[in-house]
C-alpha cells in the first residue's frame, strides 16, 4: 500500500515539495504516535531505486543560522535545596555548564535561545573521598531528539505546510527575507 502511495506521489505530486527522507521519517513518527511505538518491531521498507548521494551538513546550529541573529540566554540553575550534597550535606559548587541552542520563532521573527544547564559538584566530598558528588541541572526535553528546532518553529512550519497549503519552496523564500 505504501509503495502504491509512493509511486502515485512520484507520478502526480509536485516536484517542488520534496522532503529529505530523514525529515519525512521524523514527521511521520511525530504525527503517528501509535505507529511510532510499533516502529521498533517492523523493518523499514527498502527502496527499489538507488539513493542520490548528498553532501551531508554538520549538525551544528552555528552552520545553519546566519551571523547577527539575535539570541536569548536562559539559565536553568538548580534550586537552593537541590544544591546540597546528598552524601555529606555541604553546598555544591558549579563546575560546568551544558548548553543547548534552539531556533525560536514568531511568524515574522527568528532568534536563537541558548539554554544553559549548569553542573554542580561537592568540593567537600571530593576532598574527603577523592570522588566528587556531581549533579547536573535537568534538561528540558526536545520535540525531535538531537534537533535544534523549538516546538513553536515546528508548529509554525506544520501550520503553514498542512493548513495554509504553502509549498516548501515558498516557505524557504519567506525565511530568506
Averaged pLDDT for residues 102-117: 84
Residue 120: CB partners within 8 Å, gap ≥ 6?
Answer: 78, 83, 92, 93, 94, 95, 134, 135, 136, 137
Alpha-carbon span 54 to 39, nearest angstrom: 26
DSSP H helices in the chain:
2-12, 21-31, 33-38, 61-64, 123-129, 151-158, 168-176
Q: Is residue 137 part of a domain?
A: yes
Count the domains in the chain: 1
Whole-model pTM: value is 0.48
Comparing 87 with 25, the larger pLDDT belongs to: 87
Q: Is residue 96 part of a domain?
A: yes
Q: Is residue 131 part of a domain?
A: yes
Q: Is residue 126 part of a domain?
A: yes
Q: Is residue 15 part of a domain?
A: no
Percentage of the chain with pLDDT > 90? 19
pLDDT tens digits, residue range 123-160? 888 888 888 889 999 998 888 888 888 888 888 889 98
Q: Which domain holds residue 95?
A: 69-177
Task: Answer yes or no: is pLDDT of 79 > 70.
Answer: yes
Q: Is residue 34 part of a domain?
A: no
Comparing 53 with 89, the larger pLDDT belongs to: 89
Cα angle at 30 between 109 and 24, to 5 degrees?
80
Task: Answer yes or no: is pLDDT of 78 > 50.
Answer: yes
Report the phi/psi class of residue 48: left, alpha or beta, with left for phi > 0 and alpha for psi in -120 to 50. alpha
pLDDT given at position 67 = 80
Residue 131: CB partners within 8 Å, gap ≥ 6?
Answer: 125
Q: Is residue 26 part of a domain?
A: no
Q: Is residue 44 part of a domain?
A: no
Average pLDDT, the chain: 77
Amino acid at each position: 500500500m505504501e509503495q502504491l502511495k509512493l509511486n502515485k506521489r512520484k507520478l502526480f505530486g509536485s516536484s517542488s515539495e520534496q522532503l529529505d527522507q530523514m525529515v519525512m521519517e521524523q514527521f511521520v513518527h511525530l504525527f503517528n504516535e501509535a505507529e511510532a511505538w510499533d516502529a521498533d518491531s517492523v523493518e523499514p521498507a527498502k527502496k527499489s531505486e538507488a539513493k542520490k548521494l548528498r553532501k551531508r551538513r554538520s549538525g551544528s546550529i552555528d552552520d545553519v543560522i546566519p551571523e547577527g541573529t539575535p539570541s536569548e540566554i536562559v539559565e536553568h540553575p538548580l534550586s537552593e535545596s537541590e544544591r546540597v550534597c546528598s552524601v555529606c550535606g555541604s553546598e555544591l559548587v558549579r563546575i560546568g555548564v551544558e548548553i543547548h541552542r534552539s531556533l525560536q520563532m514568531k511568524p515574522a521573527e527568528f532568534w536563537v535561545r541558548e539554554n544553559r544547564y549548569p553542573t554542580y559538584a561537592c568540593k567537600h566530598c571530593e576532598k574527603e573521598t577523592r570522588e566528587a558528588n556531581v549533579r547536573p541541572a535537568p534538561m528540558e526535553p526536545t520535540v525531535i531528539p538531537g534537533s535544534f528546532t523549538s516546538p513553536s518553529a515546528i508548529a509554525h512550519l506544520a501550520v503553514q505546510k498542512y493548513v495554509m497549503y504553502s509549498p516548501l519552496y515558498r516557505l524557504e523564500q519567506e525565511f530568506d527575507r
